[in-house]
Chain A
């Protein structure tokens, strides 16, 4: 498999996972709004904050209200991490690696792209937005299912797994961060009152409520949910499970060098995270730290498989 194709396909998976998770993030926020009593304050700025794109947002909008934030995160082309932008990048990466993927998967992404393009306005009202987000989440799942059922589980598939799981782990940590932010504000005393509603919504967003109930067998509690979503190795969207999938994929790829060792380190790190005594502030630091470690892992992958090309080129340039 060409290094260039490996990189394109890895990013394809990242962009699509980002598309799906952006939909999930907005979805959890909207559900909370509808579940919680009117008096509880829930700020839309949090969504901008956990995506680390405050600067860009305020360049284009004055207030972080529902309409502006959802517009910015879902359909704004000027935001490179908006759902629409992610989907456009995913489609473009796919268009340039079509020879490696089943036709049906390309058609699936293309259809989703055409759907979003034709429904950009629908996100301006809640009813339209809910339909829109559902369509995206289902579409992304169809894509994943198609690949799992149609594609050889070979090198290209492994790069898809790498990209998907790095992005997924990162996004799960951001969704957890949202919960921490909502709970940590001093004015959120009332929110704390409804804490179990918050955590239930988080679980639901990650399609994990049923699995949580079967696994934990008690009512929904913050610490249990955090532990479950961080350290469980069986739930597809828990961070430990994502990393374990990354580890498997890396071990099956050629020339993996020092990467398995680094992934084991990361696995150990996640298993030793102790959320029991952590304050909300410490917890946010832990999640930040986790995100930066995932970033390091991404850099290692890039250096190991994708940069082959440039290295050789600079070597020949030197030789010449």
Chain B
């Protein structure tokens, strides 16, 4: 074993690359062998090369701070994370199944509400959901697909089971970084990639384009697609520009669009006004249309909802799709799969306690020290508490918060989530990781081969969000059958 593994200890968690006792998993054997063949110096060189490439390619994300917004270089760890293709195909099936059920549910919520009527979910949960939009009742997007782009977060527990931690159905980010991570890996490990067959991921923009075309108003033969961004100060602006570029779509801001009297959407071009058919919007519902939602918003377009309701433009994700993004609704996804698809869920949920249910609330309040409690509608890791890491005072304060608004909280056992070797200074250390694959649903359903692996760079930390100092890794889906054949 090379020196870089010197302090590697996986203790009780599941490690993505290593079995206990420094034995690489079969899928990571070639990678580990290769890493061992490198000198400390050449590993360091590759790390520097990766950092330089990120800087020169301008791969960045924006962080909000008191001194204004800072464009930061994307944090990337050069050691990839590996999943066997056989396992991945199972997960892929589970993700498709899940998004299908979620879309059935959203469609039902804005239509007959059978799920509620049959007593599968209390109606109150929908009515009190921050992301339920009564304005959307009665609308039928093409293919019944409301959430066209979904980024589900997966975590693995100490036994190796993959759980869905949450489904992001509003404007999930990260796919551009997943693609750029691979570009960098190709630059810094070309020799390694020669010997391993990794499923390609770079068809995502083409799949996205296809999906967006498939939801265009029916009379469109060659739809004009645009990506609607809140602008350069948004944390994901890099991604908005990246996806527009990869699809050959226009990147527009609200002020570039106008809804005319004919209730069609147009963009202001050097040729005059030009009709827009599909909008991949990266603006939250509340800011989409000042006529209907936030009156003060200058990010959106006045009249956009009228044009959408008239069927003159497709919006992706459809407004109102966020109703299924609610973490309380998440708890009901396995039931949705049984109800709408008449199937058993392929991927398990993390066991979830709903504070809105009196018995479960009682359990949560008694066991707060062991649980993770999250607000139902936040993202980015804000407003949550991790029981085992919290002080007695924090727990006491959180109890009050929960009791005040039980509907807004869910609790889950603190998982010992899996780790993956990560280059820290000059040695490899285990760091916790999660995984965000991206699932598309229009006329067809599509899942990326792998996804964005996020890694908590701080030792022992479970927080992987890049806005809170998390990093990322390239994710390899490796076909072991192929590896055996070539050996």
Contact = CB atoms under 8 A, between A and B. Distances in A.
Contact of A4 (B55, B71, B249, B268): B268
B454 to A, nearest CB: 24
B56 A110 contact: yes
A13 to B, nearest CB: 15
Interface residues of A, number: 27
Contacts of A313: 255
A13 B273 CA distance: 25
Interface in A279-320: 305, 308-309, 312-313, 316
B272 interface: yes
Interface of A: 1-6, 95-96, 98-100, 103, 106-107, 110-111, 114, 155, 253-255, 305, 308-309, 312-313, 316
B256 A111 contact: no
19 contacts: A1-B271, A2-B256, A2-B267, A2-B268, A3-B269, A5-B250, A95-B71, A95-B232, A96-B232, A96-B241, A99-B244, A99-B249, A99-B250, A99-B251, A100-B245, A110-B57, A114-B56, A308-B270, A309-B268
Nearest to B245: A99
Interface string B307-331: 0000000000000000000000000
A308 B272 contact: yes
Contacts of B56: 107, 110-111, 114
B252 interface: yes
Given A110-B56, A114-B56, A3 B245 contact: no
Contact of A312 (B71, B252, B253, B258): B258
A2 B250 contact: yes
Given A110-B56, A313-B255, A98 B270 contact: no
A313 B242 CA distance: 28
B152 to A, nearest CB: 27
A3 B270 CA distance: 5
Nearest to A113: B58
Interface in B225-253: 232, 241-242, 244-245, 249-253
A3 B268 CA distance: 6
A103 B59 CA distance: 11
Contacts of B270: 1-3, 6, 155, 253-255, 305, 308
A2 B268 CA distance: 6
A145 to B, nearest CB: 18
A99 B252 CA distance: 11
A110 B58 contact: yes
Contacts, number: 70
Interface in B130-186: none
Contacts of B258: 312, 316
A99 B249 CA distance: 8
Interface of B: 55-58, 71, 232, 241-242, 244-245, 249-253, 255-256, 258, 267-272
Nearest to B71: A95
A277 B184 CA distance: 62
Main secondary structure of the interface of B (DSSP, over half): mixed
B58 A107 contact: yes
A98 B256 contact: no
Given A95-B58, A107-B56, A255 B241 contact: no
Contact of A309 (B57, B242, B244, B255): B255
A316 B431 CA distance: 55
Nearest to A304: B270
A312 B268 contact: yes
B58 A106 contact: yes
A114 B55 CA distance: 9
Per CB-CB distance, the 3 closest pairs between chain A and chain B, nearest first, are: A99-B245, A99-B244, A254-B271
B269 A2 contact: yes
A100 B249 CA distance: 9
A155 B271 CA distance: 10
A98 B55 contact: no
A315 to B, nearest CB: 10
B256 to A, nearest CB: 5
A100 B242 CA distance: 10
B232 A4 contact: no
A100 B247 CA distance: 11
A188 to B, nearest CB: 46
B229 to A, nearest CB: 10
Contacts of B256: 2-4, 309
Contacts of A155: 270
B424 to A, nearest CB: 26
A94 B217 CA distance: 33
A182 to B, nearest CB: 40
Contact of A98 (B241, B250, B252): B241
